[in-house]
Chain A
Amino acid sequence: MLLQFQKGDIVRHLGLLDLQRTMQRALRRSNLPVAYSKGFNPHMVMSFASALSSGIAGDAELLDVSLSGETTEEECLAAMNRVLPPALQASRVRLVDDRFPKVSAALRTVRYRITLHGGEARRIAEDVPAFLAQEEIMAVRKTKKSETLVNIRPMIHELTAEVDEQADTAVLEARVSFVEQATLKPDLLMEALCAHAQAELPRCEIRRTQLLGEVDGQPVPLIDL
């Protein structure tokens, strides 16, 4: 079962482990025929298509759960929404064959909506075309072990900006790579953009709005693959 759910604003600080535990308990309460692993300490066979960092909200996150019995998509959706708290409601269920490769393996790009607040939001937004016009954008990617200089330009597939003059905010819509060797985190994108615009990093809210795979070079929602 592929369950598409939101990680709402009020629970955006949930970490992966807390979210995992919450989903397990919801699955137990749902009475859906969830499959358990064999072995001494059986556990549910489930995984997230992609872990979402603490602090980031999500509109269409994906949980992959193995089922061991007959059910329907409608039944699953209703059962899960009965037991999930309001901030984690599900929007879609798709039942797929177990032979289906792990859904996370098909992930190619993701979309983020980044809302910038404050005086410099506008200037940053207006800098987007010039930022994208660069052939190469070098940025420092930090991991626990090392810092490496990488060109992030090829990882940015789409980036648009819209300014809301009244609210003193700007909204960026970005589609970026999300594969093993080339994942562009939204904070690194923001860092590079602000550096280019010569602006301070503003307060921003980040939502992940879509998880995408690819068919014939075109982005397709992961759940539809």
Chain B
Amino acid sequence: MLKEKIDGLLDRVQKPARYMGGEMNAVLKDPDSVAIRYAFAFPDVYEVGMSHLGSRILYDIINKREDALCERVFTPWVDMADLMRQENVPLFSLETRSPIRGFDMLGITLQYEMSYTNILELLDLAGIPLHSEDRTWDDPIVIAGGPCAFNPEPLHHFIDAFSIGDGEISTLETIDVVKACKAEGVSRQECLRRLSRLRGVYVPSLYEASYNEDGTLKSFEPTEEGVPRTVVKNMVADLDKAEYPESVIVPFMEIVHDRINIEVLRGCTRGCRFCQAGMIYRPVRERSVEHILDLAKKLIDETGYEEITLSSLSTGDYTCLPQLAHELMERFAEKRVALSLPSLRLDSNLKQTLEETQKVRKSSLTYAMEAGTQRLRDVINKGITEENLTSSVGDAFASGWSSVKLYFMFGLPTETLEDLDGIADLASKVVRKYFETPKSVRAKGLRVNCSASCFVPKPFTPFQWEPQDTIEQFEEKQKHLCHIMHIKGVEFNWHEPQVSFLEAVFARGDRRTADALEAAWRLGCRFDGWTDQFRFDKWMEAFAQTGVKPEFYANRRREKDELLPWAFIDAGVTQQYLWREYERAVQAQTTPDCRKGCQGCGLKRFEGACEGR
């Protein structure tokens, strides 16, 4: 009956393929043959969620278990969500179109703050009570993980347990615990208690926060014995031993990253001070060339895809990249497989590798400069120079590329107008480099796409104590940028500061921000990351309703000794290291890549981390 109703809805929505399921390599298991039915949710639309590598890994890991199955769910787009409410259709899984509420576990991945209202939307559409304390065994255990779980507090009320760190480990361990609890018939509360004892698992209902008069956090303590005071992140020490999918779902509709995606390394040791991923995914771990080649072959055979991307935070840092690229091109040229290399840094020695990959397809090159002057790049420890950029684009133009993307941030700590002018200066130099390249070798149609986003200070970075620029400051700087970025051949894009402001609130929010989040969702906010859906007025109304002051979270400077809402998490990097880095930052002192010498970030405390260094 439900299946027919769903089928009827699909006639009436845009992009029905989002809800269709039935793709190549989707895993269909008999629900009666397993002990745990796990629904995995990405809180955005299908084509975004299906592009996420981590979800693919966990889908594979769960489905490899004999005693469990994993089915997918995404946030229905607004047209579908409204129809579902109107027709009383509960949120359903793609594989078997079963109600999500009937699953044993619901895993939600937290990739960006602006997806938080979509989590409430998912829970509500599923008929699962929004608040953890209102749930019973008729509801799944709701677990969330991903980078945003490193400050879980804004979601504390809605999530039963958070998984912190590499998901491969606690996904399996939490399944074991829930399975045992269900078999033994223990209470849901007892199940949560047992989950809290797993490494890397945080059960917010077992902790209590109190606040000072000035609004800062006073204390944060477990409410019962046996619940750890510090939650230590999980870490996979050896990527070659970690499970990696050898077959992935091939969607019918085009998705954002529609290709084979192989993670070649995890973590980054460059130490860019604005970058949360570079801190929380430490240490650097590489997958071996043999393993990657083996995965590539299997995945090409299993999917029929015509493109492979080698992904990581910084693929240019992969030790054997030239050898790997060469081998991949040689082995799969006959199958017309193209190779794309995202996240390359300019200072990697890439010329030959680029020449290899362009044999098959030419895409645009992206350079993340992040800041306009050397001084500011030193502040944020982005160890690239103008010379790196100009020589690299020079090489690229000479090899036939004509399309270049430049990424910058503004609103960075210590920033002045001079730093903004540096952005225009760099863009002009790229244009000049193109025209200096002889006409006989350069490709036609220069395109320099330059984008500047508003800086958002994140937890577990050296800038976690820093205020974000106010919306007014951002707007003023934006005006200036638009004025100076009128350069022939350059297209300039910027991001709305309102979205970045909210991102900053929830990135460093405490438990009290959960009320504002819920109020915003009740006022109709969802898909806040989508410009056409974003309603800043509703958000401000939600803050006013709940008495939450967003500026307190976004625009306030924190003192060194302030108890931060996320301080109970051991993310590997220590608070002492982060503060040391902060002090170096404001003096524009750089810190070298730790592969060239240990900087004492704290990861060496973890077993198996930084081996051989």
Contacts and interface: CB of A to CB of B under 8 A. Distances in A.
A11 B24 CA distance: 12
Interface in A154-178: none
Nearest to B249: A85
A13 B16 contact: yes
B250 A25 contact: yes
A22 B303 contact: no
B304 A85 contact: no
A128 interface: no
B21 interface: yes
Contact of A203 (B8, B10, B28, B253): B8
Interface in B1-56: 7-8, 10-11, 16-17, 20-26, 28
A28 B306 contact: yes
Contacts of A13: 10-11, 16-17, 20
A50 B163 CA distance: 50
Interface string A81-105: 0011111000000000000000000
Nearest to A10: B22
B407 interface: no
B246 to A, nearest CB: 14
A135 to B, nearest CB: 34
A219 interface: no
B380 to A, nearest CB: 41
Nearest to A18: B252
Interface in A36-95: 42, 54-55, 83-87
Contacts of A10: 7, 20-22
Contact of B303 (A11, A14, A25): A25
Nearest to A30: B304
A13 B21 CA distance: 11
Contact of A22 (B7, B252, B335): B252
Most A C-beta atoms less than 10 A away, residue of B252, B303, B336: B252
Contacts, number: 59
Interface residues of A, number: 26
A183 interface: no
A10 B22 CA distance: 7
Contact of A84 (B8, B11, B24, B302): B24
Most A C-beta atoms less than 10 A away, residue of B7, B11, B253, B304: B304
A14 B252 contact: yes
Given A13-B16, A14-B252, A18-B253, A83 B21 contact: no
A126 interface: no
Nearest to B26: A85
A14 B306 CA distance: 21
A28 B335 contact: yes
Nearest to A42: B336
B301 interface: yes
Interface in B239-291: 250, 252-254
A65 B21 CA distance: 26
Nearest to B302: A29
A191 interface: no
B330 to A, nearest CB: 19
Interface string B483-499: 00000000000000000
Contacts of A9: 7
Nearest to B18: A13
Nearest to B305: A25
Closest 3 CB pairs of A and B: A25-B304, A13-B16, A28-B304
Given A13-B10, A42-B336, A85-B23, 11 more contacts: A10-B7, A10-B21, A11-B22, A15-B17, A22-B250, A28-B335, A29-B302, A29-B303, A83-B304, A84-B24, A85-B22
16 contacts: A8-B22, A9-B7, A13-B17, A18-B17, A19-B252, A21-B252, A25-B250, A25-B304, A25-B305, A28-B304, A28-B306, A29-B301, A29-B302, A83-B304, A85-B25, A85-B26
